[in-house]
Amino acid sequence: MFKEYQHLRIPGPTPIHPEVGRAMERTILGHRSGEFSKIFAETLKKAKRIFQTEQDVLIVASSGTGALEMAVANIVEPGDKVLVIVTGVFGGRFAKIAKAYHAEVLTADFEFGTAADPNQIREILKQHPDIKAVFATHCETSTGVVNPIQELAHIVKETNAVFVVDSVSALVGMDLKFDEWGVDIAVTASHKALGLPPGLALIAVSQKAWKVIDENQGTRFYFDLRSYRDNAAKDTTPFTGPVSLVFGLSKSLDLIEEEGLEQGFKRHFLLRNMVRAAVTALGLELLVKNDQDASCTVTAIKGNERFDPEKLRKVLREDYKIVAAGGQQHLKGQIFRIGHMGYTHPMDILTTIAGLELALKQVGYPVELGAGVKAAQEVWANEKNIG
């Protein structure tokens, strides 16, 4: 009966709200029709609110990685010097994309599980005043670490460089004040905290960034931001628009506004604290030690000599229908990750922790059933002022 059931607790794709699913099932429209253009224009306006910007926000039929490449392709010309902040796999991906576009890539590398040090970034920028762009991840999905984007934006703003932020697994789950902080390009994707299927990306662009983009002589076609800007002014897209995903995005943005952006941040913060408290109560080790640097959308937990994270994930998936993520690159087999973003309620976390306890016991880890659930409940009760 439950063969196809899954409790999806990975950092994307994430669970989809039923209303979003229903919105995507509406009768398809031609992507050049007047009716779709109206919906598209309204959706672009709504999207500005989640970036907290008055600048251009554009919609692209693409994965998150496509949006990262779009940012690089429109900023970088061969030989340009850029700085990439690497705190995990996706920071490393930014560096790989920049190298593919023949940039001179400098990297600021930090231990996985550790946030970037703004002072180190400031020193690198002083040493290399010809850096054209700085690339950073907001939430490093591979480790669950959050980089200090506001501080970094302030530092980059004092230079001629543009500041590009991968907020794929952060936006809506954590605060990003695009205009106030001085971010120049920020990208996100549909299948994370926005709670949509994969296939759609959003990208916000500042006036400072547009100046660089308009002067860029590099080659690009499908990912040419200028064509998206020019077509958005006419309430359309340069190529076939992701019609059903736009229907879903429109509804998702309505639901986010209904909850309230700040309230959504608080909910994600609560989910994070519940997971971290439960993990600690179970005697497990968090990869990100410092609460300040811990993501509100995904938590990474270390394995040890008493259990194999991959075996644990298999038991979680097959016996308890809970799908958790594994580690990547050198963290493969060393950690497992629990996603808690988007259409996720605190009760979902209690269910996840209860299943985790059972799975840990099943793989031979010494666990007191209920200890993690109790710790998570106490966090929630404290937030609700239940004394």
Give the alpha-carbon dihedral of 48, 49, 51, 53, to 10 degrees.
70
**Token pair for residue 257?**
């506004």
Strand partners, 61: 200
Element (H, E) at 229: helix 225-232
Strand partners, 302: 285, 335
Angle (CA) 323-137-159 rounded to 5° is: 175
Q: CA 116, CA 137: separation in Å to the nearest integer?
A: 10
Q: CA 209, CA 190: separation in Å to the nearest integer?
A: 23
Three-state SS for 36-56 is HHHHHHHHHHHHHHHHCCCCE
Strand partners, 338: 299
Per-residue pLDDT of the chain (387 residues; tens, 9 = 90+): 566 778 999 999 999 999 999 999 999 999 999 999 999 999 999 999 999 999 999 999 999 999 999 999 999 999 999 999 999 999 999 999 999 999 999 999 999 999 999 999 999 999 999 999 999 999 999 999 999 999 999 999 999 999 999 999 999 999 999 999 999 999 999 999 999 999 999 999 999 999 999 999 999 999 999 999 999 999 999 999 999 999 999 999 999 999 999 999 999 999 999 999 999 999 999 999 999 999 999 999 999 999 999 999 999 999 999 999 999 999 999 999 999 999 999 999 999 999 999 999 999 999 999 999 999 999 999 998 886
Q: Using alpha carbons, select from 59, 270, 296 the residue that is nearest to residue 170.
A: 296
Q: CA 113, CA 139: separation in Å to the nearest integer?
A: 11
Q: Using alpha carbons, select from 341, 289, 275, 294 the residue that is nearest to residue 144.
A: 294
Total count of residues recorded for the chain: 387
